[in-house]
Amino acid sequence: MSVSIESNFGVDYAAHLPLLGDSIAELLVFFGVKRVYGVGGDFVANLINTLDKQVAVLPSSNEMHAGFSACAQAELNPLGVCMTTYTVGSLPCTSAAALARTEGLPVVFISGAPGEAEINSQALHHSVHPHTAWHTDLDAALNAFKALGVRAERLQGQRHSGQPNVAAEQFLQLLTHAYVNRQPVYIEVPRDLIYQPTQALSLPSCPSQLRPQALNLSGAELIASQIRTQLEQAKAPLVFLGEKLRLNEPLLEKILAFCEQNGLPYATTWFGKGMLDESRPLCLGSYNGVFSRLPHQAYIESEADYVLELGTAIFPSDTNNAFSSQTHAIDNHGNKTMLKGTAQWEADIEAVIALLATQPLTLNASVNLAVETAQQLAPEAELGYHHLSACINAAQQRVERPFIFLPEVGNSLFASFELTTLGSDIGRSYLANPWYAAMGTSLPYARAVVDQLAERQSSQPVVVITGDGGFNFQANELINLQKQGANLIIVYMRNNIFHLGKAGDAPIYACNHEGFDPKLLIQAYGGSGHLCRQSGEFVDTLCGCIASGGLHLIEVPASVEASAQSDTTQKLNCYIGYRNGNPEATQRWQELCEKRG
């Protein structure tokens, strides 16, 4: 005999049950979500209408861009959220999901799905279903996300007439998984569940209470004692901070306070760039072996006699470890302590730092870091990648306001490692996709950054640095930056080809037509276009764009000659040639390593 929830648990209990859509909105707000990026569609329409009452449901120009904006959101918040419709909407998000998986970003990919009452032998027009198939496959998107190593589930409706569904609890568990483990999740929500009652939840006062509170590893006091002894014996100590710390701001602040208290110089990895204020006297910048060019690189590579390495990757990435060139001094250092952070939320590092901070160190070190002399620019010099960062640094110094940088993958990314990153109103002054999702992320990232700044009522300048190839991947996102009224400067380096990694003259490397005028394009989106060929002109223009606000694009003709590339790109191209067996590149690489040694 069928029973109802009312007859089983009582009328008062049944009236106490919320609708699933309302619970989903409540849970997103609980995790601090204020914005959701996405593209609408039929299967997600009910959820959009429900969420719109409590969070901003913002449009993106396509689903992949929505996913990339959510990735940037997750760099700055407890969760990033992307929402799309079933399969045709969710499958394009797999590139962003791969990025989130690789970078350890807590991104929640929400997809509408067919209602449970719609599942039958008839194929749905949204399903991946050839007309010759003998069965329907409704799990194509779920399986695609699972293949990336992403936890992927479809919420489940009522299975017994007398019991409410537990879809809200299932949704909470998935959000908690993303938050605690800093990993993406994929959630399909059947559209007919949105307005159905679900089991009521009892939430803690804040998300941090969902994290494990106890450290189940012992020996922190022994590690702290070893580190204290090593630091006190060292004459030139160095603290090397890994990229894992960029998502743990409270711990990062404790480590920096410990370094400042004891006068310990510190540096970070390439992937950690932007989490430090590089104007601080003890900050040595972002280091990556021979591919770096830092004012105090000699201290890192020749003087440091003990390294305390905190929060670096368990399994090193070739990009972040000098492309496996064996020139990364920290990797090869003979006297160091590595504390990777193997407990959730780096609780083991936090325990050791807390013990070290209980009393000041008695140091034998005498660290003398000379003040960096700003690079002098010739105002009439032809502008190019080789001194692009110096020009932008000069503009940042002139306006006396810290910039937030968003470099695009390609020559722009490698030139950007010479930028000076300062403090930020949103906790990060540099956000980049270091390879996995390839080109096309800087403008979607900029959307999330601009929204975050608006929330903080900050007018901090945002600078996107992109080649013309990367820009053309994502120019359609300009419409949403226009709708935001974004204060954004796009530095558009134009050479009309996909230059980084170019190995021939096939048409595939051509990314532009000579007649294309990006200055007219930016005007169509309510912005202003500028053309700069010389260093002084560029610095003046960039400062003027910041002063006037709004959307700007600065076009810079960029030479493809080797001498016009950034120092990092020149070294990288040389190394790639060496690894490919090119005799000339091999000789140059050997000379470079001998000079460095």
Using one digit for the tens of pLDDT, what is the confidence trace for 10-63?
Answer: 888 888 899 999 999 999 999 999 999 999 999 999 999 999 999 999 999 999
Residue with tokens 């470099």: 407
Residue among 229, 266, 224, 223 at smallest CA distance from 363: 229
Residue 281's CATH number? 3.40.50.1220
pLDDT, average across residues 83-97:
95
C-alpha–C-alpha distance, residues 431 and 409, integer Å: 11
Q: What is the pLDDT of residue 501?
A: 66
Domain containing 399: what range?
385-565
Q: What is the pLDDT of residue 325?
A: 86
Domain for residue 369, yes or no? Answer: no
Domain for residue 379, yes or no? Answer: no
C-alpha–C-alpha distance, residues 590 and 578, integer Å: 9
Q: What is the pLDDT of residue 121?
A: 65
**Which pLDDT tens digit goes with each residue over 93-125?**
999 999 999 999 999 999 999 998 887 766 666
Residues 6+ apart with CB under 8 A from 199: 17, 164, 165, 166, 168, 169
Q: Which of helix, strand or coil describes residue 185?
A: strand
User: 410 and 478 in one domain?
Assistant: yes
User: 109 and 75 in one domain?
Assistant: yes
Contact yes or no for 442/408 (Cβ under 8 A): yes
pLDDT, average across residues 230-247:
95
Q: What is the pLDDT of residue 76?
A: 96
User: 185 and 160 in one domain?
Assistant: yes
Q: What is the pLDDT of residue 279?
A: 92
* Final residue belonging to a domain, choices 301, 336, 356: 356
Going by pLDDT thresholds of 50, 70 and 90, the confidence category of residue 509 is confident
Give the rounded percent of residues in the chain with a pLDDT score beyond 70.
96
Residue among 404, 573, 558 at smallest CA distance from 495: 558
* Helix 94-103 / helix 63-76 crossing angle, nearest 10 deg: 20
Evaluate if residue 218 carries a pLDDT over 70: yes
Going by pLDDT thresholds of 50, 70 and 90, the confidence category of residue 195 is very high
Strand 283-286, strand 462-467: pairing? unpaired
User: 125 and 238 in one domain?
Assistant: no
Q: Which of helix, strand or coil describes residue 377?
A: coil
Q: Quick one: CA torsion of 417, 418, 419, 423, rounded to 10 degrees?
A: 70
| SS3 track for 83-104 | EECCCCCCHHHHHHHHHHHHHC
User: 306 and 264 in one domain?
Assistant: yes
Could you give the number of structural domains in the chain? Answer: 3
Domain for residue 276, yes or no? Answer: yes
Contact yes or no for 491/463 (Cβ under 8 A): yes
Residue with tokens 């403008």: 443
C-alpha–C-alpha distance, residues 441 and 72, integer Å: 9
Average pLDDT, the chain: 91
How many Cα atoms sit within 13 Å of 562 on the Cβ side?
6
Q: How far is CA 262 from CA 312, 355, 357, in A?
A: 22, 14, 9
User: 227 and 192 in one domain?
Assistant: no
User: 27 and 172 in one domain?
Assistant: yes
Going by pLDDT thresholds of 50, 70 and 90, the confidence category of residue 503 is low
Domain for residue 377, yes or no? Answer: no
Longest dimension (CA), the chain: 88
Going by pLDDT thresholds of 50, 70 and 90, the confidence category of residue 594 is confident
User: 258 and 397 in one domain?
Assistant: no
User: 176 and 154 in one domain?
Assistant: yes
pLDDT, average across residues 163-175:
95
Domain for residue 264, yes or no? Answer: yes
Which pair of structure tokens corresponds to residue 375?
């690079």
Domain for residue 589, yes or no? Answer: no
Q: What is the pLDDT of residue 223?
A: 94
Domain for residue 97, yes or no? Answer: yes
Evaluate if residue 321 carries a pLDDT over 80: yes
pLDDT, average across residues 76-94:
96
- φ/ψ of 85, rounded to 5, equals -90, 180
User: 289 and 182 in one domain?
Assistant: no
